């Protein structure tokens, strides 16, 4: 209802008249008192006859008796007020005592069921559990620099790592080995070989960690699953997994920019390898070492400017068959032999294959007199096209192919001599053995 002052109509009347009211009540003279704002104010009277409240004729004339007291309305109002007041009180109490929105103090979740941590030996977790105790991290300090790297234990308690990791110590620095069980020990260099980027160190204490078995890198094929373990960015015991994504990649592994002596015939993998992984093992699904993680390809960063590089899925490892030979020589003699065939490569040649130089370069003859190539019939200016039936794509590829062989191994070389195709068998030789470096 509203408080409009226009004439009332049937639709404007309240629908809750007090019980027991009768027609004919109202003040003398038929005047109506004003309406209350809710339509049931003081002394409200019914409308006159035209509204049809007096059937049978007009309303009676003369004095009209005052209406009877409406005792029911105050009682009804009291009940309504009591109900509203009680409800408001209850709502107020609930608002004051309820928990914050969205929470339930009595809520709880079931406790976890006991979960076994054992994994099948052939799973990644199973292989990692077997290999991790044999992987170490190295902290190396020299006179003017320091660095970290990785390594792994082999027979006799020796530890294999990269030359570029161990070389930081120089001749008067220090090397600290941290084992997977949390213990540590100082170590000394047994031998290192820049040409293969490999080094062997020996802790000053008896090594309790088990040795890692060395596999056969000649049996590795593209697509084989592999696991890399090491200390990338100093985070010891890090395990990453991937596959062998390529083989026989000519890669500079030792950071010797501008020189070919650190080139390796690498295993390529997409397992994440980062700075600090250097020297750690790349293992197969049986937990056998198939390579030593040594290098990564990176884009958009310059180590020369101190910019950090990271994995883009192109990591490279020295094949373990090469590691086996170099490591054994370092342990037995302190130095390692570098395989050679006694030629100087023409770096300016742009054609197919690799051409032997035609003149002396840097004091070296194009073909070493009495060397392996000379003995096989190769001459200055000859173009080497294939080695063991595989095309030679460039000088780097030829260098790493030769260095992957051991002295005494034989190679079948197909080459072009004065326009004629020829084939020769070359027995791989070795460069002069350098003097033993003190560790």
Question: Does residue 18 sit within a domain?
Answer: no
pLDDT of residue 144: 80
Catalytic site includes residue 294: no
Catalytic site includes residue 278: yes
Instruction: Please state the pTM of the whole predicted model.
Output: 0.73
CB 268 within 8 A of CB 247: yes
Q: Is 186 in the same domain as 241?
A: no
Confidence of residue 9 (pLDDT cuts 50, 70, 90): very low
**DSSP designation for 211:** P
Query: What is the average pLDDT score of the chain?
Result: 81
In order of 25, 229, 316, 319, the CA distances from 127 in angstroms are 103, 11, 21, 20
Annotated active-site residue in 137, 150, 164, 322: 164
Catalytic site includes residue 164: yes
pLDDT of residue 6: 41
Q: Is 183 in the same domain as 254?
A: no
Question: Does residue 88 sit within a domain?
Answer: no
Q: Which is more confidently placed, 54 or 77?
A: 77
Q: Is 153 in the same domain as 231?
A: no
Question: Does residue 395 sit within a domain?
Answer: yes
Range of the domain at 420: 339-430
Q: Give the mean model confidence (pLDDT) for residues 399-416.
A: 94
Confidence of residue 196 (pLDDT cuts 50, 70, 90): very high
Annotated active-site residue in 278, 294, 339, 395: 278
pLDDT of residue 142: 87
pLDDT of residue 434: 63
CATH number of the domain residue 409 falls in: 2.30.42.10
In order of 44, 303, 340, 341, the CA distances from 214 in angstroms are 110, 32, 25, 28
Q: Which of 203, 231, 246 is the last residue of a domain?
A: 203
Q: Is 325 in the same domain as 355?
A: no
The proportion of the chain whose per-residue pLDDT surpasses 90, expressed as a percent, equals: 61
pLDDT of residue 273: 94
Q: Is 323 in the same domain as 247?
A: yes
pLDDT per position as a tens digit, 31-54: 444 433 333 334 444 444 443 444
CB 202 within 8 A of CB 157: yes
Q: How far apart are CA 320 and CA 301, in angstroms?
A: 30
Q: Say how many domains are in the chain.
A: 3
Q: Give the mean model confidence (pLDDT) for residues 293-298.
A: 90
Question: Does residue 299 sit within a domain?
Answer: yes
CATH number of the domain residue 134 falls in: 2.40.10.10
pLDDT per position as a tens digit, 314-324: 999 999 999 99
pLDDT per position as a tens digit, 141-169: 988 888 899 999 999 999 999 999 999 98
Annotated active-site residue in 193, 197, 346, 382: 197
Q: Which helix (H) or strand (E) holds 373?
A: helix 372-376
């Amino acid at each position: 209802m509203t408080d409009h002052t226009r004439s009332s109509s049937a639709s404007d009347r309240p629908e809750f008249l007090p019980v027991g009211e009768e027609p004919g009540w109202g003040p003398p003279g038929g005047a109506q008192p004003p309406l209350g704002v809710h339509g049931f104010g003081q002394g409200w009277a019914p409308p006159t006859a035209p509204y049809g409240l007096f059937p049978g004729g007009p309303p009676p004339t003369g004095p009209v008796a005052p209406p009877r007291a409406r005792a029911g309305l105050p009682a009804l109002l009291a009940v309504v007020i009591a109900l509203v007041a009680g409800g408001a009180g209850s709502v107020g109490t609930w608002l004051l005592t309820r928990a914050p929105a969205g929470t339930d103090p009595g809520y709880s979740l079931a406790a976890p069921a006991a979960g076994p941590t054992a994994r099948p030996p052939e799973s990644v977790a199973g292989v990692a559990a077997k290999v991790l105790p044999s992987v170490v991290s190295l902290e190396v300090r020299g006179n003017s620099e320091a660095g970290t790297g990785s390594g792994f234990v082999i027979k006799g308690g020796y530890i294999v790592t990269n030359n570029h990791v161990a070389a930081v110590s120089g001749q008067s620095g220090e090397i600290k080995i941290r084992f997977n069980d949390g213990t540590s020990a100082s170590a000394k260099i047994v031998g290192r070989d820049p040409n293969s980027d490999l080094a062997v160190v020996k802790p000053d204490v008896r090594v309790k960690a088990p040795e890692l078995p060395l596999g056969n890198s000649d049996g590795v094929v593209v697509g084989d699953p592999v696991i890399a373990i090491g200390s990338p960015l100093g985070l010891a015991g890090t395990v990453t997994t991937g596959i062998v994504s390529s083989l026989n990649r000519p890669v500079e592994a030792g950071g010797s920019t501008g020189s070919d002596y650190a080139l390796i015939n690498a295993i390529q993998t997409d397992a994440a390898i980062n700075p600090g992984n250097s020297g750690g093992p790349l293992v197969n699904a049986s937990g056998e070492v198939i390579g030593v993680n040594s290098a990564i390809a990176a884009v958009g960063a310059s180590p020369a400017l101190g910019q950090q590089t990271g994995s883009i899925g192109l990591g490279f490892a020295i094949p373990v068959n090469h590691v086996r030979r170099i490591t054994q020589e370092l342990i037995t003699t302190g130095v390692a032999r570098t395989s050679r065939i006694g030629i100087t490569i023409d770096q300016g040649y742009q054609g197919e294959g690799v051409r032997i130089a035609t003149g002396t370069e840097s004091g070296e003859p194009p073909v070493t007199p009495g060397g392996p190539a000379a003995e096989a019939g190769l001459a200055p200016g000859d173009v080497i096209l294939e080695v063991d039936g595989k095309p030679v794509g460039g000088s780097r590829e030829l260098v790493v192919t030769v260095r992957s062989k051991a002295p005494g191994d034989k190679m079948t070389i197909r080459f072009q001599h004065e326009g004629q195709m020829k084939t020769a068998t070359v027995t791989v030789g070795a460069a002069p053995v350098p003097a033993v470096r003190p560790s």
